[in-house]
Amino acid sequence: MAVSVDVEALIAAAGPRAGAAGREYVARGSVSGLTSVDGGVRACVAEIQGGRTHVFVSVVSRALVVDCDRDSEAGGQPCEHAVAAVLAARDAGISWTSMAVPCGAEPAVAEDRLVTAAATSLTRAELVRLIVTQAAEDRLFEARVLHRAGRLGPADEAELARLRELVRHAGRIPDSGEHWELHELLDAGRELLTELEIVAVRPASAEFVGVVEDAIGVWDKLAGYLLDAWDADDAEPGTVGDALAALHLRLCEELRPGPVELGQRLAALVGSTDLDSCLDAPDSYVDLLGAEGLTAYDAALHR
């Protein structure tokens, strides 16, 4: 849900010193790297005495939440870096989205608390080295780090072309004329899902949704061969199909296409597939479709 931030109320809550310092940072052009992330704003503030401070400001249940490298505490007064970030965001015309809970604030289990305590005892350089090492080993983690830092845009044409070729390759396996095993189909589906989930960390685009829909169609074909192997270890096609369906729904929720367009696309997708494991339409999409979209869906499906 889009919300507005009362800048003057923020400055009043921060206090005269922090409010004046935040205004000075903006006036001096000290705010850089301004990025909209997860409905909030991330920025880097150059200190007058040297060094840089990173700050992330978000709106949670209509309350401003500040995460600052230097001097903000949960529930405390907003700092000058938060004031600078919000002022710069206002000048840049960045919109805000209210979240129900802070990003990453899910209830922690004992293991999470242990890791959190350990992480807070490390230096900044140690944490950076650990993140870089993990990113080199895990492409999904790498994408999440880049997204969190506001460094990822929508998939470009080269990336989309690579994914389309993966989809085509998976679909050609049963028709290759060569001997293949059932596990190769499952492996191809899992590999395709992994690659799609990595790219899905990027901002959604209509072109990428189209690639995911192509993948759903291909998996529907491959899953048909696996139906007789459901009793085999981990060969149930719904494992991949359900994940593809969830990915498609999440992208549509982010992109929010027009209800008529979405209804027609869902009808085309459902009409071209044979298995129910690949897409739960229109039930899962009711909030996006509305009455108009559902009418378009029914009309296109029974045309």
pLDDT digit string, tens, across residues 152-175: 889 999 999 999 999 999 999 988
- In this structure, which amino acid lies at residue 171? G
- Number of domains forming the structure of the chain: 3
pLDDT value of residue 72: 52
**CA dist 286 to 112, 235, 281, Å?**
36, 31, 8
Same domain, 172 and 144: no
Q: Is position 227 within any domain?
A: yes
Which domain range does residue 142 map to?
110-148
> Which one is predicted more confidently, 40 or 38?
40
Per-residue confidence at 259, pLDDT binned at 50, 70, 90? very high
pLDDT value of residue 3: 61
CB 219 within 8 A of CB 172: no
Same domain, 171 and 250: yes
Question: Which of 120, 148, 176 is the C-terminal boundary of a domain?
Answer: 148
The residue behind tokens 């950076």 is 128
Question: Which of 99, 134, 167 is the C-terminal boundary of a domain?
Answer: 99
Q: Is position 29 within any domain?
A: yes
CA 285 – CA 280 distance, rounded (Å): 8
- Asked whether residue 73 carries a pLDDT value surpassing 60, the answer given is no
Same domain, 229 and 280: yes
Q: Is position 207 within any domain?
A: yes
Pull the structure tokens for residue 299.
Answer: 């009309």
Q: Is position 104 within any domain?
A: no
Per-residue pLDDT averaged across 32-56, rounded?
87
Per-residue pLDDT averaged across 78-105, rounded?
79
- Tell me the average pLDDT of the chain: 85
Q: Is position 38 within any domain?
A: yes
CA 180 – CA 185 distance, rounded (Å): 8
Same domain, 167 and 266: yes
β-sheet bridge partners, residue 35: 42
Q: Which H helix or E strand runs over 25?
A: helix 16-27
- Asked whether residue 263 carries a pLDDT value surpassing 90, the answer given is yes
β-sheet bridge partners, residue 54: 44
- Asked whether residue 279 carries a pLDDT value surpassing 80, the answer given is no
Same domain, 116 and 81: no
Same domain, 91 and 176: no
Same domain, 273 and 244: yes
CA 156 – CA 151 distance, rounded (Å): 14
Axis crossing angle, helix 16-27 with helix 7-14, rounded to the nearest 10: 120
Same domain, 49 and 123: no
Q: State the alpha helices, DSSP H only, in 28-79.
A: none
Question: Which range has the worst mean pLDDT, 65-69, 100-104, 226-230, 236-240?
Answer: 100-104
pLDDT value of residue 2: 59
CA 206 to chain centre: 15
pLDDT cut 90: percent of the chain above it: 46
Question: Which range has the worst mean pLDDT, 33-37, 57-61, 166-170?
Answer: 57-61
Residues sharing a CB contact under 8 Å with residue 54, sequence separation 6 or more, in sequence order: 42, 43, 44, 45, 68, 69
Residues sharing a CB contact under 8 Å with residue 92, sequence separation 6 or more, in sequence order: 34
> Which one is predicted more confidently, 63 or 109?
63
Same domain, 6 and 49: yes
Same domain, 188 and 257: yes
Q: Is position 164 within any domain?
A: yes
Same domain, 166 and 296: yes
Same domain, 138 and 164: no
The predicted-structure confidence for 166-208, as pLDDT tens digits, reads as follows 999 999 998 877 788 888 888 999 999 999 999 999 999 999 9
Q: Is position 105 within any domain?
A: no
Most confident of 62-71, 93-102, 105-114: 62-71
Q: Is position 268 within any domain?
A: yes
